[in-house]
Structure 1
Amino acid sequence: MFEHEHPLNFIDLWSKELKHEEEDEESEEETEDLISNQDFRCLCFRCDEEINWFHRYYYTCGQCDYSMHKFCAELPERLEGICDVEHTLYFLTKWLYSDWKCGICRRIHKSTGKTIKNYKDVEYPDLLHLPFPDPSYSILKHLFFKKNGPCTLEVPNDVTKTHDNISHQHSLVSSRIKSISFHDPMKRIELLCNGCLRPITTTPIYMCGNEDDHCNFVLHEWCSRLPTELKDHHDHPEHTLFLHSTVLGKFFGVFTCNICYLPCNGFVYYCKKCEYHIDVNCAFLPKEITHASHPNHLLSRNVNAPYYICKICYKYLWDEKLSYSCHICDNFHLHPKCALLIPETTTHKCDRHPMKLSYFPIENHKSEYFCEICEEEFDPELPFYHCHECMQSMHPACAPSILRYETYTSTRYDRAIYKFVNVKFGGTYNNIKVHEHPLSFVQGIESDGECLKCYYKLQFKMIFKCLNCKFAVDIDCCKYLSR
């Protein structure tokens, strides 16, 4: 704790106890009190930045005009041994996050990475350490790879019979029977699991045994071990969630997850009564994790308060229900999707080397930072992928290992998660009400032009297009025309 000659009082600006003196009135007065808290302003003695309602916690002196952010007060004045041996790092802060600045060489070092460990490994033997090593790894592999419990799929003589809720029109066979080309962006081969939508790079797997129909259904072996129902789920404890291979009533099986709010057409846990559905990755969010962007401190799953900012995508958390938060550092929060869906390394077809996730500006990098995919400048203070061999850098959303003609998103402010990371494109849709030819389910690109129904651009959308003619519509218009 930063020392001061007088005792410091701890203040929570969101506390209901902070009210005006007029407490005689009922609800109208309470609304005005909340507004007055939001309008609260003072300066932090240590960083000279404003303390306001968004920061929530701060320390103040009752005897003099002295106030400090909570995270400013609880950080040491300086750190030794992070920069060069003979240099000392002095405290420097920015809004909602803090850095260390060397007083000799003037280099700025982000405070992440030098936190003191606040837990014992023996007390958390199954703790999930994120990010995952590569795009093929998932929380389902982490949980079910070594488990020998009941399977969603029964496997007699290498031919599978699906559970009632996990249906496929053809029999599934073990990968030991049928040869397969695994996911490899460098060879332009894409193979995604129909359950978790993560790339398949190794066995064991199950796949469709019908070679005549060119069906691309394939499933990780650990995805076959998903429980058929979830009771008392932390985000929907009211009803039991049942596992389905597709959501009935959702066009072409595409739904929006009620936790990460990303579109998905993989397996789903579904409550029919509440129209509640979550993808199988979000269904198993652990209570606590660690993350390389904030090492040594546990991050706990919680229902986030408004105005928090995710430290990976730097977008507000108010659109999401859940966050992973550090209860020691009040200013560190992550979207669950940013924590789980951005791997430590990735391989992109534009670079033959694996690229690693970086949380800091690259040392000795002299030029501006530009993404090699979308060719837009980016802030190196935010996480990005970098290849030290080719000196190439990419936004995380521009560098998924799945194959797309155009992988960057339609807005320059969404650079963390590729929008369709949980969507498996492919398959055909036959309906003469919509079009006389079979339509392919693909991601729209610039050359697809406009939707022939609504006339909006098809780029960066889920679309159905004819490979024989120029017919193309987005998924909503295709659903409307098929009625």
Structure 2
Amino acid sequence: MDPSHKILPIHKYPLTISSRFVNDTCRGCNVKAPIYGGYRSNEPSSAGLFFHKECAEAPSEILDHPSHPQHPLNLHNSLRKPSKCNLCGKSFFSPSYRCSSECDFTVDLTCGINPLPVTIEHPKSHHHPVVFLKEPAKPGRCQCQICKSYNRGCSYACLECEVHFHVECVNLSQEVNHPSHPQHPLELLVYESLDSDAEKTCLLCGERPDKVLYRCSICNFSICRFCAKDPPPLAIEHHKTHEHRLVLLSRQISFECNACGMQGDRSPYMCIQCGFVVHRTCIDLPRVININRHDHRISLTHHLGVGYSKCGICRKDISQYNGAYTCSRCPGYAAHSLCSTRKDVWDGVELEGTPEENEDIEPFKVVGDNLIKHFSHEEHNLRLNRDDINRDESSRCEACVLPVYSDPIYNCEECRFILHEKCANLPKKKRHVFSTKPFRLWPRPPRTFASKDFRFHDVFRCKACRTKSTGFRYVSDWWVLDVRCGSRSEPVIHDGHKHPLYYERKKNHCCDACYTQIDDHLLCCDTCDFDLDLSCTDLPKVVKHSCDDHPLSLCYGENANGKYWCDICEAETDPSRWFYTCSDCGVTAHIKCVLGDFSRLMPGRIINYNKVIVEVVPNNHSSRPLCAECHSRCRAPIILKLCDPYTGYICSDACAVAITTTRRTTI
């Protein structure tokens, strides 16, 4: 085993000694603070977990704990449900110490290795002894004398003065001499008492304290209590980052980081010999990683060189003179170091020294001329068909569940199994912006998601576009995407907009196609103010509907003064929104009226919809049936038919939700 890897009782996987600076939550003590010189996990299932050195090296057994000396306490590194510390009274969901006998005694990790004293004779924050109170004496009314916020749990109190202190505040010194600012002592101040022009962000870690900070009012130098207690090293030797010694420049200063090429505004590490400057978070960057914005591994280079212009993640300029991540397979692909190691981009696993998987992600094997064996239909071979036959609505792709019409397809000559040619080529494994872990293509639901009763086909809701489907799906942990959302990569080129589109997560933004307000992922334009909801991104360009003999084409809005009317519901349409129209006879229709809510459910399938058994049926009778819930005529081309013991039809998703709350079938 690599000597930097250690098997420690705090975690079930080996932990790696880390020289990286992170502002993260320690998974041992559950405190969010700057961590340097600690440990991290590199296992895929727990990658990105960091531990303080003291927490990671906690002993597996405490023989004589002052609060429970009668029995040893054993370290438990996993909890299935939150527990409550018998010493401080706080609830926690992290490693703990428990009595080895039958006593119901449990303490969290901090109270196990550093138990709170019952009495502090000489606290740094007060001139009298203070005693520990597990519960506040007056809930909601006990204000901490140091930070001036109210106590909600355990605290220390001076019984003589009737004042209280947070556990974390009681031993804060009123004044400290700090190695990062040797010129003057730093005074403890309440955050809310600072003037408007005072520096309120820690000049070392960049975090903004929520209660108190240490400050030099002469130099406008402020640091948080964590950096005051555990100051960063004044000098570092880390040859993977730079060949020379790096010295901390603890001040507010604008600089360009030579490791990532991005701007910084405080406390970099600098090489006195050659002028190399680096963010402290860019020290000990991982060498080889996987990210969710690219399908191949990317590697760190200290000097990018020519041939690169934009970051593949943030799309901003990238400098040839600094470090970045590049792909050995894709010339021209590069990404900023800070962008690549973001928590929503990188899976946290360092791959240096790990051989690349030679995983087969090809979805089929060629077994003859225009003949394949697809992994989703291994019982029969599929033949490529490009005969340009105009098929009807009943011929649908098993993967995306859309009609195939005259598209090239692979079809089974022994059964009705059909795949679009492009759907047959979907990779079995793909990376996507919605998860840092890879997505895998499932033609049927994995066991985690599958219905317990296999008499019924599974239906799922795509977490990206919110559309219900019975088709293939891409799955990563609890993320489930239909194949149209799951196979899409940036940049997205869409006929409805002239510029490339990229994924962004936004709040209170309106889709330019349907005018719906979205508080989640959108496809956005970097050039102009254009946002597209993911459900509108996947609208079929051409559809057939009984309202017209010709195919209907998707229209991306018009600047028209006249009135438009939907030929299906006969209500007025807004021409500035997207709609369907016939170029031959001028028919117009709302998108919802043309597609309905069940366009991605395969007709003929019997499905379990919220514990109600229904059949997916085409609405192709001469007389449209009445909906059993809203009692209106069903307009959608695909509807749901209730199965025994109930009868009737369901016209929409809203009616399905309403009706399934009262008519549940025991299955």
Q: TM-score under structure 2 normalisation?
A: 0.38
Shift of 1:278: 0.7
Partner of 2:467: 262
**1:358·1:386 contact (CA, 8 Å) conserved in 2?**
no
Please show how residues 180-219 of structure 1 align to structure 2 within 5 Å: 182-184=390-392, 189-202=393-406, 204-210=408-414, 216-219=416-419
**1:159·1:171 contact (CA, 8 Å) conserved in 2?**
no
Partner of 1:481: 665
Of residues 156, 160, 164, the one that matches 2:367 is 156
Instruction: Return closer, same or farther for 1:391/1:225 CA change in 2, 3 Å cut-off.
Output: closer
Shift of 1:301: 2.0
The aligned amino acid for 2:470 is: N
Partner of 2:486: 283
Partner of 2:133: none
Partner of 1:376: 571
Shift of 1:392: 2.2
Please show how residues 221-300 of structure 1 align to structure 2 within 5 Å: 221-231=421-431, 233-237=432-436, 239-248=437-446, 249-250=450-451, 252-271=457-476, 274-295=477-498, 297-300=499-502
Answering whether residue 624 of structure 2 is matched by residue 441 of structure 1, we say no
**2:462·2:469 contact (CA, 8 Å) conserved in 1?**
yes
C-alpha RMSD of matched pairs (Å): 4.7
Partner of 1:144: none
Shift of 1:195: 0.9
Cα separation, 2, equivalents of 1:172 and 1:387: 38
Cα separation, 2, equivalents of 1:282 and 1:472: 29
Q: Secondary structure at the match of 1:154?
A: strand
Of residues 490, 500, 514, the one that matches 1:313 is 514
Kindly indicate whether structure 1 or structure 2 has the higher relative contact order, using CA contacts under 8 Å at least 6 residues apart: 1
Cα separation, 2, equivalents of 1:341 and 1:256: 16
- The structure with the largest helix share of the pair is 1
Instruction: Return closer, same or farther for 1:289/1:480 CA change in 2, 3 Å cut-off.
Output: same
Instruction: Return closer, same or farther for 1:20/1:472 CA change in 2, 3 Å cut-off.
Output: farther
The aligned amino acid for 1:348 is: H
The aligned amino acid for 1:277 is: V
Of residues 525, 536, 561, the one that matches 1:338 is 536
**2:460·2:470 contact (CA, 8 Å) conserved in 1?**
yes
Shift of 1:242: 1.7
Cα separation, 1, equivalents of 2:407 and 2:495: 28
Instruction: Return closer, same or farther for 1:192/1:302 CA change in 2, 3 Å cut-off.
Output: same
The aligned amino acid for 1:350 is: C
The aligned amino acid for 1:152 is: P
Shift of 1:424: 2.0
Answering whether residue 505 of structure 2 is matched by residue 303 of structure 1, we say yes
The aligned amino acid for 2:401 is: L
Instruction: Return closer, same or farther for 1:203/1:397 CA change in 2, 3 Å cut-off.
Output: closer
**What are the ranges of 5 or more consecutive residues in structure 1 without an aligned counterpart?**
1-18, 29-123, 126-148, 400-406, 408-417
Cα separation, 1, equivalents of 2:607 and 2:514: 35
Q: Secondary structure at the match of 1:259?
A: coil
Partner of 1:120: none
Shift of 1:465: 3.9
Partner of 1:77: none
Partner of 1:421: 599
Shift of 1:299: 2.6
Partner of 1:349: 546
Shift of 1:387: 3.3
Of residues 629, 634, 640, the one that matches 1:463 is 640
**2:580·2:588 contact (CA, 8 Å) conserved in 1?**
yes
Identity of aligned residues (%): 24
- The structure with the largest strand share of the pair is 2
Please show how residues 121-160 of structure 1 align to structure 2 within 5 Å: 151-157=362-368
**1:429·1:441 contact (CA, 8 Å) conserved in 2?**
yes
The aligned amino acid for 1:422 is: R
Instruction: Return closer, same or farther for 1:355/1:222 CA change in 2, 3 Å cut-off.
Output: closer
Partner of 1:62: none
Shift of 1:154: 2.9
Cα separation, 2, equivalents of 1:255 and 1:389: 37
Give the total of aligned pairs.
Answer: 300
The aligned amino acid for 2:424 is: S
Cα separation, 2, equivalents of 1:341 and 1:261: 13
Residue by residue over 1:110-169, the C-alpha shift from the partner in whole angstroms, topping out at 9 and shown as x without a partner, is: xxxxxxxxxxxxxx99xxxxxxxxxxxxxxxxxxxxxxx974133435775442xx256x
Q: Secondary structure at the match of 1:341?
A: coil
**What are the ranges of 5 or more consecutive residues in structure 2 without an aligned counterpart?**
1-193, 201-207, 212-330, 333-359, 651-655
Please show how residues 76-87 of structure 1 align to structure 2 within 5 Å: none
Instruction: Return closer, same or farther for 1:326/1:172 CA change in 2, 3 Å cut-off.
Output: same
